[in-house]
């Protein structure tokens, strides 16, 4: 199939040099690039957060009702934070 693609002059010049060096065509380089990009997108799996729970009895009673800032400050207390 024929199609028209607008490419920056500098990019096209680089592609021409590479095609000449590799003894191939601009068309072959474009097809290779598209195949690689499509393959990369197919391989990309959505991020899934692993289950990161640990044994315990939950939040310490002293922290019940505490804000995130209070919990964070308590966690870093005495650690220079």
Does residue 46 have a pLDDT over 80?
A: no
Confidence of residue 81 (pLDDT cuts 50, 70, 90): low
What is the value of pTM for the model shown?
A: 0.52
The helix, strand and coil proportions of the chain, stated in percent and rounded to the nearest 5, come to 55, 0, 45
Contact 29, 18 (CB under 8 A): yes
Q: Give dist(CA 27, CA 44) in Å, integer.
A: 26
Model confidence pLDDT, tens digit, residues 9-34? 999 999 999 999 999 999 999 999 99
Q: Which residue has the tokens 């000449």?
A: 20
């Amino acid at each position: 199939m024929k199609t028209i693609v607008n490419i920056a002059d500098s990019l096209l010049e680089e592609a021409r040099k590479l095609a000449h060096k590799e003894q191939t065509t601009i068309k072959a380089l474009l097809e290779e690039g598209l195949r690689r990009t499509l393959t990369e997108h197919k391989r990309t799996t959505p991020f899934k957060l692993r289950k990161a729970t640990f044994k315990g009895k939950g939040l310490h009673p002293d922290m019940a009702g505490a804000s995130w800032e209070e919990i964070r400050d308590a966690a870093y207390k005495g650690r220079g934070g």
